[in-house]
Every structure is written in C-alpha cells, then in structure tokens.
Chains A and B, each alone.
Chain A
C-alpha cells in the first residue's frame, strides 16, 4: 500500500506492507540511528517523535503515520549533537547503542516539561534502558544539558 508522510521535514512517498512497523520503515529510508533493542516494547531504543510526541517505533504500524510528521535523530542533528556532548563528557556513552533512543527522549522531555526536577526527569526517562552506564552518568548529563544556559547556577 501507498504511504505519504513527512520524515525529518521532508515529504516522503513510499510503498509499505500492511504490517510494516515504523521502525523498519524509517531504517529502510536511511535513518539508521533508530535501533531495535528488544522484542517486548520495553527498551526505548527505537524512540522517534510522531507529531512531536515520543513513541516506540517498534510498536507503531507504519500505516498509522499517514499524513503525519515523524522525526528521528537524523532530523534533529544540532540539538542531538549538543545533548550528546554532555552525555559523552559525563561518561554516559559506553557502547553507545542506547544513545540515539535516549537522546530522542531527552529532546522530547525538553519539549514537554518545563524545568523538571530530578524525580520528573527519572520518571520521564525510565523507559530508556541502558546496559552499560548504571544511569548516574546519564542523569548528570541530562541535568547539565537542561541547565546549559546556566540559569540554575550549579
């Protein structure tokens, strides 16, 4: 079947199967930052934004994004690089496999929450699993990234 949607700001017209998953579609269109880390809708590695909201692309039918705007990390280069620098500086990037999904959700959180405290940050990012870091370095990185303009003075 035919599908038309916006991927990272560009109009895309393509052919899909009825049961194609969004994850496989965006990867086939070259967005290789999007990873599959589990078979149980549990790891968050496949996070993309649909109409500005973070979703698990492994569990979304591609047919459902007809007419919608989809963003992957490839389309948010500048922001992603900036947030990624903090992650690397704090040692939050070990094997790095979880980073794209994690960064996508950090960027989504920044859009949705104003000035989140530590508990809110943890709760928002709880669905992004990481096997290497133990999460402390990630938390430090996120706090520093959110406070990058220095408004909190810490």
Chain B
C-alpha cells in the first residue's frame, strides 16, 4: 500500500525540486504505478500545478510536458500527424481509457520500465528529455541509466524533433490490454533507418542502419541524428540482395539484422527464442509498411 502523511502541490519547479531532495518525499505523476508499490513516505510532491500538462508544437519540435497523460498522447493531432499515428498505436493497448487518462508521460519515461511501449516508441524518434537539475539529454542516454534510489531529479519535458521521418509501431500481447510481450518501433529517416525494441523483456534500446554500396551498416548505442550521419561508428552488418532486390528481400535482410542487434530473455509472458522470432516478424512488417508509404516496396532501396 502507498502511504504518506503530507500532500504538497508546489507552485514552482524550484520548490518541487527542493522538496524532493529528501528521501522521505515522493514525486507523483499519474500515481498508477506508485499506488501499487508498498511505500511509506512523509511528503507527496504533486506536479500538477507547474504547467507541465501540455503538448506544444513549434517549427522544429514537439515539447511534451511530464504531466501530459497517455490519453493525450493517443489523441494529440499534431503528434499523430507528424509521426503517422505512432502515438496512438503505442498507447491504445495500455489497460484502458480511464487508466490512460491518469498515467503520465513523465512517470512512464522516468520509470524506465522494461515493458514500456512509450519508451520504445520515443526511442525510435529523435527524442530528448529534460531534467530540472540534470538538463537536456538524448533519451537513449537517460534510458540507459539504471534507476537508482538516490536519484532525486524531476523530469520536466520530453522533446521530439520534427525531422520528417516516417514512423510505425507494433506490439504483440497475450490479450489486447496486457503488457506487451514484445514492442517494436521503426522509423525511416533521411539518413537511413532507426529501430527500437522493448519488452525483450529488458527495457527498450535502439539501433540505426544505413545503406552504403550494397551493404547495410549498423550503429548501436547513441542513436544517429541527422547532423552526425556522416560520423564514424558504423559497421558492416549484412550484404544486401543484389539482382532480386525487391522490397521484400530488402525488408527480410534489414529486419533480420535489426532483430539480431538485441538480446532477448525469458519471463512469464514468453521465452527469449519466441521474442526474438516475433521481433523479426514485427520489424519486417514495419519496414514493409514504411517502404510502401514511400512507394519503394517493389523497388530497390535507393542508396545514399
């Protein structure tokens, strides 16, 4: 059971940050996760009065406040227009509408849960997070940090760049509102491809690919951003099929290479072998969909 003695709704981030420096304080986002935990705290720090409940769109990016609910992500027109419905697809299976009216983006990202659909989707986009104290950093860097009890920062915003990438999302679940058994997001960018796979059951990670001289090149770790596309860090992953290089053969090769970039494990919902198999199937579907959208499904993936 979740227990606390005092409830505070700070009027400024500074105050919220100061309050949550104590070990006896707890920051509350949507509370959906917290309420299941057995914790006893002195002070609840409620972030709902800090103007963090909006999605704002500018020329270059979306700014998503930490208190934006999953239902808002699901129904936000701008986000879903820009990223081809990815935000609807990655949220619509999470428990139910009532749940998504409560759960927040901040709690979902800060939690860095292995099963997270939200983390998976955001990792295939050019995403940054902002911490009140820690500042702005790529999501991949933040997500890779293990959660520590000594962490006392507040996640304020998530930023998603509008870099014209085409994106798509798929997950597999035992029943439609269960946790994902595997979660995959893919994006076609102007320098290549970016994928994220989550619920492996380890937390989502990302990998990038580009096509050079009939080869697929891979880059793991730090995701590739447009400006750094020329960077080193790429290694040959697979030769691309030559003459019969139809969309399907290309998708098969790319999906295989992408799925093989991750480690899969076994838990109650499924075995590692099953997850690895599913990941490749879902990634291939994503790739074919993204190729079809740009009219390349039947043609050869052009080289850059």
Contact = CB atoms under 8 A, between A and B. Distances in A.
Contacts of A42: 95, 99
Interface stretch (B25-33, B58-66, B207-215): B25-33
Secondary structure of the A contact surface, majority rule? mixed
A44 interface: yes
A18 interface: yes
A4 to B, nearest CB: 14
Interface string B248-273: 00000000000000000000000000
Interface size grouping (class) on chain A: 20 to 34
Contacts of B46: 61, 63-64
Nearest to B28: A61
Interface string B174-185: 001100000000
A40 B48 CA distance: 23
Contact of A53 (B31, B48, B92, B101): B101
A117 interface: no
Interface stretch (A26-34, A75-83, A120-128, A141-149): A120-128
Interface string B193-230: 00000000000000000000000000000000000000
Interface stretch (B1-9, B15-23, B117-125): B1-9
B97 interface: yes
Given A59-B30, A127-B95, A40 B36 contact: yes
B101 A54 contact: yes
A33 B58 CA distance: 45
B95 A41 contact: yes
